[in-house]
Every structure is written in structure tokens, then in C-alpha cells.
Amino acid sequence: MEKTIRVNRLSKIEGHANLSVTVEGREVKDVKMEVFEAAQYYEAMVCGKPFHEVPITMGRICGFCSQAHHNTALAAIEEAVGVEPTKQTKLLRELLQIGQILTSHSLHLYFLALPDYLGFDNAIQMASRHPEYVQQALELKHAATELVVAIGAREIHSINALVGGFSSVPTKSKISVLAAKLKQSKNAALETVKLFGSLKVPEVESPPRYACLSAEGEYAVMDGVIESSECKTPERGKCIVLHKNEYRRHVQEYLKPYSTAKFASFGGETYFVGALARVNNNFKLLSEDAKKAALETSTRFPSACPFANNLAQAIELVHFHDRAIEILDGLTQTIKQEPIPRITPKAGKGIGVTEAPRGTLIHEYEVGADGRVVTANIVTPTAQNLRHAEQTIKQYVPRLLHLPDDKISLELEKLVRAYDPCFSCSTHFLKLKLDRKR
Amino acid sequence: MRAGVFSFTACYGCQLQIIKMEELMEVLKAVDFVDFELVSEKKYDGPLDVAFVEGGIARDDQIPELKKIRERTQFLVALGACACDGGIPAIKSFMDEGEAERIVYGEEFRKHLHAVSPRPIDKYVKVEYYLRGCPIERQEFHKLVKELVVGRRPREKRHSVCLECKIKENRCLLDYGVPCMGPVTNGGCFALCPSNNAACEGCRGALQDANLAAFTALLERLGVSRARAKQMLERFSGRTSLFESFVEKMRE
């Protein structure tokens, strides 16, 4: 016999989707992430447009991840037209990306995820009972916002990060103010690790392949090779390393009729990208304080439990504070307005790969001799995680079947939220439909 | 005041501007967001004093949803470039029918997309106020909310980005050969982009009495082709009636 449970329009995630689960007895027949966000056509809309406009347009794919799209498009376009940005430009872009990760993680952790664990419907209700958490969240948010606004001139959809360089840069004194502010808010980041380390989360088994950027000697964010490893095998066995130019051979995007978001697999295998993948694969490269904070929790990395993604985000808050402070301290004496080179368009191809808040983001463009885009391709973190989420839900549901339907829905929503999906990027929201066949 | 925040085809940047605003706690004292999916599960389906609608319409199933919101609310605010003018997603509306679907999803998949040509929301429902920008400016949202709470009818600004840029005593980018859309674009942003040495992209939509013939002639003198000028007008607000009819004429 079949039964249907629907939680229509899963909330507190970014975008519109339904989750449909079909159960017969104790067996899960089918899990579908039905993304019904209106499809995005950015890859088609930039065709025929001049290259300089592309990063600014691509930032509009998503308000949550705009700097990440903007930066990744910049890297790809610059490779295509043959421009090498200066060291200062690269550092400022990294600061923007870090600012994006800090704002995105703190918003997700405190606004969208935490209310679930403390038993509140939403952050507004939580605020009156736990002003201390709201205080921490606000402190993190203020510091990260100030960073993004100072570098990119606006928090959402930055203005001055152009192909070739920045059209405006902060003053030296602003750079020192930012460093001082982050040194203060770092404490809130450390408290966030303690808080999320103390939350009880279910142990859920999930497919063990995790992928992210990897680079020699650094916790890669802006460049590197794409490395995927199985976190459960010893010595991170079955590690696959891909140069970015090879991504098309291994990262396969495919479509499902019930979803406007694309799905992706890594060499035919299900995998996970995002904070948990980065912390799993690159734990040793985290800042000393981030590692120390992580080791003080009871969770050990690598972890194959998607709920640990929340804790991984908290750990990254500490790491990226440290990295941002390091960059800012280095720029305090040297920052200056650099001229943006005049770019003569030439035909070429370019691929940009960065670590967005939710994982590895790939942009690829082909630019014609007239400087206009010929083709564009984007692989988003959420598209890469959809298949992983479906498979984890399939493994998790049998353990929940003794619960009433509304509780099952809540638990599954928590799980989906731990992935921090972004359907605006992968197109775009989640309703839960549970079919119980008995 | 009972308010709802809704989203159609957009990037969520405008909703984010609301939940990230410094004055949010103050706003929450006066406004009860009874229907706001991004922050809370949907529980309320009743009448609203004000509905903030982000995003344009790009799927057939969004049309009845938007009309239902219109029936529920006294006052409807179009939030941001996509809802006001179509925004970036409406660039697709200038492509050949089905072309974008074919490039991104392939011909086979087209039937699953429920796509309609992207348009601003006022193609389908009456809009009381347009809060412009890509994304909206937090202080403008704050001001609008205060006006609505005290029962004052808000009035839209009717001046260009250029005016604000002059007040800020910026150097004129057009004088330096940079194709800037300040002269034909609604102000309210305090010329944020030109103040950062970047050209105005036209995200706040077509200024009501913009002299488009003079503007495109100016662009031509800067070496911008007519085809490119057309793309510039189509980028954020090509589906507003002023730009639409002008672009139509350019095609002839």
C-alpha cells in the first residue's frame, strides 16, 4: 500500500523545490528532488554579449553566491582573453570570495539551520529566547558585510570587480579597520564552532566521495586542481585528481524530467561538494586556530555524515577569518589604485574554478575574436550535490518510518538544509512529498 | 501591518537585502511578516496589507500564483529590477523562441520547463509601487516600510542617476569615453556604480522621460554600435514600455 506525505514548499532554503519520497513497507522505492524553480538561462543569455559584461551579469545568477559567480566568471573570461590580473587584484578577489563565504555560512548557520535544532520555527522566534546567538550572528554578519562592501562596493552584486582589475579600491586606513574588525569577530566564529559542535545530530551514512579544490600548501579557494577522495578509505584512498581543463570528462551533468536543476556525477560516482568536502579533504591546511577549534568538538574529520556540513561551515568561519586577516595585514601598507589594462579582444577559451560557499563552482567560456561570448557552461555546487542528497535521503528514511509523517518531513528538511542547497544557482525550492506504499 | 514576501524568477538578492538590513529588528516591531518563505514555513494564506514581490514571471505556473497574491493584498510592491522591469532574466525574451531552452537544456527537455517569455510582474497584475535596483537599496526599503506603516502614500523618484552623480561631483564617465547608462536610468542609488568608477548598467530601469534618441546618438559618438546600444537597453529593463518601443524602432 502506498502513502503520500507532502511537505509543500520546504522553507528556509534558497529556492523552490519539492522532495518526493515513495515508500513501500520499510523499503524506499524512490527519492526525487523536484526543483521547480524557474529555469535559468544565463549560459544562453550571455552569448553574443561582450566579454567585459559577463562577470557582472553572472553575479546575478544568485544573490547568496553573487561574488563567487562573479569571481569565477572573471577568472574564466580573463583566461579566455589572455589577461593576467595583478597580485593585489587576486588578493582582493580572494577577500571578496572569503567575505561571501563568511556571510553565506553565518546566515545559513544562524538563520536557517539553528532554529531547527533549538526547536523554533524561525530565527525571528529564536531571537527573543536566545539573544546571545543573535548577537554572535550579528557580529559575524557585520564584519563580513563590512569586508565585502569595502572591497566590492556593495554587499550583493559587487560593482568594481571588472575584467582586468578593480575600478576602485579601499584606502589603507579602511584595510586596517577591516583587519581590526575581523580580529574582534573571530571570537564569535570560535563560539559558533563550540555551538554547532555541541548540537546533537543524527548519524547518517552517505556516499563517501567528497570533492573540492586542492592546491599545494594552502586551503584552496580561488584556484587549484579538483580533487575527490573517499573519506572512509585509509590514506584518503581512491583519490581522483583533475586538472580544471579535464572537468568535462569527469563531471557529467545530466537532466531529470522532474527538475529544472541539473544533476552531476563525478566519473559516474555520487559525490559531495561544499564546506564538508573542503574540511574533509584539506583539514591539515586549515589555520591553526580552526584546527584546534575543530579538535575540541566530538566530531572527527573526515566525516561521511552530511549533518557535519554545518559544523564544517562553522570551522571554516574561523579559518577564513584567519586567512582574511592575513591578507589584510599584508595589504595595509601596499594597497593602491592600479590601472585596469586596456584589453584587445582575441578569440580564446577559459575555465574558472573556485570554491563558492556551497562548493566547487565551474564557469567556462569561449570568446570570439570580436570579444563576444560564443559559448558558456556553468556547473554549480548544488547540481553536484543533488544526487548525493537523494541517495542519503534514501538511506536515512527507513530509520524514520516509525515517526509520524510531519516528524519525518521535519527530519528530512533538516537533512536537506544541512546541504545548504541553493536552487537559485542550480536553477533555483523544496516541497516534500512522501509516498508510503505499505 | 501584515506583510508577505514572495519570490518568482530572480536571484533572491532583494529578499536578502531585507533580512540583512541593520534596521530589521526595528522593522519587525511594526511589520508582521506573516508569509515569508525564506525565513519561515508557510502557515498563513489570508489577507495582507502589503505584498513584496521579487522576481519576474518566467513559468506558466507562476501566473496564477502571482494573481492570487494580488487578490490577497491591499498594496503590491514590485521588489527589484526583475519584478519592476524584467531584469537580467528578461534578456531571454529578446532571443528567438525556444533558443535559450535549446542551448541550456536541449530540445528534448523543453516541454518540462513550463517556460513563458520572461516579463515584469505588471504585465499580469496591478503594481502600486516600484522599488528599484539590482538589488534594492536597504535604506529605500526601510523608508518605504516607514511610509506604509504610517499610512502615507509613497512617491517614486523621478530623476536620473546622472543627477545624483552630479550632486556627488563625480567625474563624468561619458566624458572619458565609458558608455554609462546614467542619463536614461532612474536614480535613487546615489550613483553607486559611477562613484566607483564603473559604468551605470541601467539596473534601476528606464527613466520615464529619457531621451533615448539623444542617448543612442551619444553612444554612437563613443563608438558604440547600434546593435550594442540595443543590447545595453535590453539588459535590465528592455521590457519596460519606453525601452521596448524604442528598441522595436531600432530594429526597423
DSSP secondary structure string for all residues of chain B: -EEEEEE-BS-SHHHHHHHT-TTHHHHHHH-EEEEETTTS-----S-EEEEEEESBEEETTHHHHHHHHHHHEEEEEEEHHHHHH-TGGGGGGGSPTTHHHHHHT-GGGGGGS-EEEEE-GGGTS--SEEE-BTTB-HHHHHHHHHHHHTT--------BHHHHHHHTTPPPGGGGT----GGGBB--S-SHHHHTT-----TT-B-TT--HHHHHHHHHHTT--HHHHHHHHHHHHTTSHHHHHHHHHHH-
**Backbone CA torsion sign across B217, B218, B223, B224:** negative
Instruction: Using the predicted structure, report yes or no on whether residue A237 has a pLDDT greater than 60.
Output: no
Paired sense of beta strands A161-162 and A165-166, if any: antiparallel
Would you call A38 an interface residue with chain B, using a CB distance cutoff of 8 Å? Answer: yes
**Residue A170: closest C-alpha in chain B:** B196
CA distance linking residue A328 with residue B131, whole number of Å:
36
Reduce the DSSP state of residue A157 to 3 states and report it. Answer: coil
pLDDT grade, residue A15 (50/70/90)?
low
Reported as a single tens digit per residue, the pLDDT across B205-218 is 999 889 999 999 99
Mutation target vs B (from A6, A7, A41, A168; most B CBs, 10 A cutoff)? A41
The pTM (predicted TM-score) of the whole model is 0.92
Amino acid (1-letter code) at residue A228? S
Q: What is the pLDDT of residues A315-358, one digit of tens each?
A: 999 999 999 999 999 999 999 999 999 999 889 999 999 999 99
Cβ atoms within 10 Å of A173's Cβ, excluding its own:
9
- Closest residue, chain B, to A163 (C-alpha): B198
Contacts of B28 in chain A (CB under 8 A): 124
Q: Which of A5-19, A84-98, B14-28, B125-139 has the lowest mean pLDDT?
A: A5-19
| B39/A47 CB distance under 8 A | no
In this predicted structure, what is the pLDDT of residue B202? 95
User: Which chain B residues contact residue A111 at CB under 8 A?
Assistant: 19, 39
Q: Would you state the pLDDT for residue A238?
A: 62
- Residues 6 or more apart in contact with residue A354 via CB below 8 angstroms: A68, A71, A72, A75, A97, A213, A221, A222, A223, A360, A361
Distance from CA of B48 to the nearest CA of A (A): 19
CB contact (8 A) between residue B192 and residue A154? yes
Predicted confidence at residue A307, as pLDDT, reads 93
Q: Which amino acid, one-letter code, is at A8?
A: N
Pair A273, A294: CB distance under 8 Å: no
Task: Find, among B59, B50, B46, the residue nearest to B6 by Cα.
Answer: B50
DSSP conformation class of A337? P
Is A39 within 8 Å of chain B by CB? yes
pLDDT at B112 > cutoff 70: yes
Chain A interface disruption, residue of B41, B134, B235, most A CBs within 10 A: B41
- Residue A404 contacts by C-beta under 8 Å, 6 or more apart in sequence? none
What percent of chain B stands above pLDDT 90? 70
What lies within 8 Å, CB to CB, of A50 at 6+ separation is A345, A371, A372, A373, B228
A334 touches chain B (CB under 8 A): no
Cα angle A149-A155-A156, degrees, rounded to a multiple of 5: 150
pLDDT band at A230 (very low <50, low <70, confident <90, very high): confident
Q: What is the pLDDT of residue A21?
A: 85
Q: A44: distance to nearest CA of chain B, Å?
A: 5
* Contact yes or no for A68/A381 (Cβ under 8 A): no
d(CA B104, CA B99): 9
For residue B52, give the nearest of B123, B127, B119, B117 by alpha carbon.
B127
Of B19, B92, B192, nearest to A111 by CB-CB distance is B19
Q: Locate A26 and state its grid cell.
A: 520499510
Q: Report the candidate in B193, B189, B181, B191 with the shortest Cα–Cα distance to residue B238.
A: B181
